[in-house]
Amino acid sequence: MREIITIQVGQAGIQVGNAVWEQYCAEHNISTAGKQQRVTKDNSFKVFFEETSSGQFVDLEPDVIDNMKSGPLGSLFDKDFLLSGKEDSANIFSRGCFLGKQILDKMDDQLRKLADNCDNLMGFMVTHSIGGGTGSGVGALIFEGFNLYYKKKVRVGCSIFPSYSISSSVVEPYNALFAVGSLLDFTDIVLVFDNESMYNICQRNLHIAKPDVSNVNRLIAKVMSSMTVSLRFGGELNASLDELQMNLIPFPRLHFLTTGMSPIVSKMDVNTISNDVQTITDECFKPTNWLVHYNSFDPMDDKYMSIVLNYRGNITSKEANTSIQWLKKNDKVRLVEWCPTGFKIGLNDIPATILEQDDIGAFSKNAVMIANNIGISRMFNERITRKFDLMYNQRAFVHWYLGYGRRERQFGITRQDLGYLERDYLDVLSEQITDEAVDDYVNDDNNDTNYY
């Protein structure tokens, strides 16, 4: 058995995580009290669930908020792994780091217990937001810890980015900049989510006049369940977390991914649309069905480096391949010139489970796209660096960060690194391999390829 440990950090991380666990429980017939209601022969679900001697299931996650214990999923989790501090982070990244250090030993110990208990740990998935103080600051401590102890495991961030026009605190750009700096250095894959895009989907597709975070969290849960479906169930063309990483990430720094899903249609509209494979594939690539940055996406310039398309329901590989050929032929998807294949397909015959509390309608077939699209770089600029520059040029609010141990030069270094990241995304459009890249390759000690 290869396991994944999930960690939920901060308010958004916990709430999104809860929605995801509800989804996993429903898909594996496990009650929220932790009992498996119908025993199945397929044990793949144990990738995420761990069974105790009392026959209950315990999640594989240390956590930071006490009130999980009294929530509806309280008895699903082992209380020892619900960790909390005494004060909140007041929306300041460095205060989150400062307070997080007080419970760091406990976090590390509990994480080690979970990791030691695994047969063959595949990796970690962390849900958090990067605009607040806890998800960003404590998240950064957790990612640094991975880098010390679990560097060879796949480290996945499921990260809610600040929105363009809605913000919960004025210092979101500072928090997000530091958090992206740590995601950049210490994770292998980041699924980027944008609340504003998801609110729009809820209004436009699901007819919810005033959506709130619970509606949005249910959308994220659907995407994450489809991303992990091949880990939790057997199926044709399945991929492990390592294979996902290998297929999606052509360059280590460029690991911030775009997700899309289809159908996203309300329960009352289910009978009004077609559910054939070509339609759901086409819809999946329309930016209006994306959970991130759709309004700033440019279909002509923003090319894909790689795409994983996970289908669920009764779909054959022939049908999937035909739809992908159709997409390419009709110029619906533009891949970078140096990666013409670009697609990895996953097939799982169990459709996504629709829960009573879901706004989305049930379909016998659905698709989730996880893609490495260079358009994500615009998101860094619009959501983080541009706003950061405006505030930091005046040194506004900087003293709050210095007061909790951040040094002034860390602002400049992290800002510069994000600038390089934006440029790295644009560089992949160039077909010319640079002399510098060739030199790096030739000088790399680990590279034993012979040159003639």
- In the complex, which residues of this chain contact ligand GDP (CB under 6 A)? 10-12, 15-16, 89, 91, 129, 131-135, 160, 162, 168, 195, 213, 216-217
CB-based contact 158:125 (threshold 8 Å): yes
Least separation in angstroms between residue 423's CB and ligand GDP is: 27
Least separation in angstroms between residue 195's CB and ligand GDP is: 5
- The residue from 243, 283, 319, 422 that is catalytic is 243
Residue number with CB closer to ligand GDP (26 or 158): 158
Residue number with CB closer to ligand GDP (99 or 249): 99
User: Which residues is 310 bridged to in the sheet?
Assistant: 346, 368
d(CA 229, CA 221): 12
Q: What is the DSSP secondary-structure string of 74-125?
A: GGGS-GGGB---SS--TT-HHHHHHHHHHTHHHHHHHHHHHHHH-SEEEEEE
Residue number with CB closer to ligand GDP (160 or 192): 160
Least separation in angstroms between residue 439's CB and ligand GDP is: 42
Least separation in angstroms between residue 37's CB and ligand GDP is: 27
Q: Which residues, at least 6 apart from 281, have a Cβ–Cβ distance to it below 8 Å?
A: 262, 309, 320, 323, 324, 326, 327, 367
Phi and psi, residue 372, nearest 5°: -100, 95
Q: Which two tokens stand for residue 212?
A: 């709130």
d(CA 259, CA 220): 10
b/e 221-246 (16+ beta carbons within 10 angstroms → b): bbbbbbbbbbbbbebeebbbbeebbe
Q: Which two tokens stand for residue 421?
A: 């990241």
d(CA 264, CA 270): 9
d(CA 389, CA 393): 6
Least separation in angstroms between residue 11's CB and ligand GDP is: 4
- Per the annotation, the verdict on 243 as an active-site residue is yes
CB-based contact 261:368 (threshold 8 Å): yes
Q: Which two tokens stand for residue 221?
A: 């849960």
Least separation in angstroms between residue 96's CB and ligand GDP is: 6
Active site residues: 243
